[in-house]
Structure 1
Amino acid sequence: MTVALYGHPFSSFTWKALIAAYERDVRFEFRMIDPDHPDNMARLAKLAPTGQFPALVDGAREVVESNAIIDYLDLFHGSGAPMVPADRAEAVDARMMADVFDDYVHAPMQRIVGNALRAEENRDPTGVEDAHRMIERCYGWLENRLEAGQWATGDRFTIADCAAAPALFYADWVHPIGAQFPLLSVYRARLLAHPSVARVVDEARPYRAFFPLGAPDRD
Structure 2
Amino acid sequence: MTPALYGHPLSSFTWKALIAAYERDVAFEFRMLGPDHPENLARIGTLTPTGQFPAVVDGDREIVESNAVIEYFDLFHGRGEPMVPLDRHEALEARMLTEVFDDYVHLQVQRIVGNALRTPADRDPTGVEYAHGVIERCYLWLEKRLPAGPWASGGRFTIADCAAAPALFYADWVHPIGEHLPKLAAYRARLLSRPSVARAVDEARPYRHLFPLGAPDRD
**TM superposition score normalised by structure 2:** 0.99
In structure 2, C-alpha distance between the alignment counterparts of 1:2 and 1:72, rounded to whole Å: 13
Corresponding residue SS for 2:132: helix
3-state SS in 2 of match to 1:30: strand
What SS class does the counterpart of residue 57 from structure 1 fall into? strand
* Aligned mates of 1:80, 1:32 — CA distance in 2: 27
Counterpart contact for 2:90–2:154, Cα < 8 Å = no
Aligned residues: 219
Q: 2:156 matched to 1:145?
A: no
Alignment gaps of 5+ in structure 1: none
Whole-angstrom distance in 2 between the partners of 1:80 and 1:43 = 31
Residue deviations 1:58-104, cap 9 Å, x none?
00000000000001000000012100000001000000000000000
Question: Partner of 1:6: helix, strand, or coil?
Answer: strand
Which residue identity does 2:193 align to in structure 1? Answer: A
- Which residue is equivalent to 1:44? 44
Segments of 4+ in structure 1 off by > 4 A? none
The DSSP-based 3-state class of the residue aligned with 1:185 is: helix
Q: Which amino acid aligns with 2:40?
A: N
Pairwise CA distance, 1:217:
1.7
Asked if the contact 2:191–2:197 (Cα under 8 Å) also holds between the matched residues in 1, the reply is yes
> Could you tell me which amino acid in structure 1 is paired with residue 136 of structure 2?
E
Find the counterpart in structure 1 of residue 200 from structure 2: 200
The aligned residue for residue 123 of structure 2 is: 123
- Cα-Cα RMSD: 0.6
Amino acid in structure 1 at the alignment position of 2:33: I
Q: Which runs of 5+ in 2 are unaligned?
A: none
Listed one character per residue, the Cα deviations across residues 180-207 of structure 1 (whole Å, up to 9, x for unaligned) are: 0000000000000001000000000000
1:149, distance to aligned residue in structure 2 (A):
3.7
Partner-residue secondary structure (3-state), 1:204: helix
Normalised by the length of structure 1, the TM-score is 0.99
Give the corresponding residue for 1:65: 65
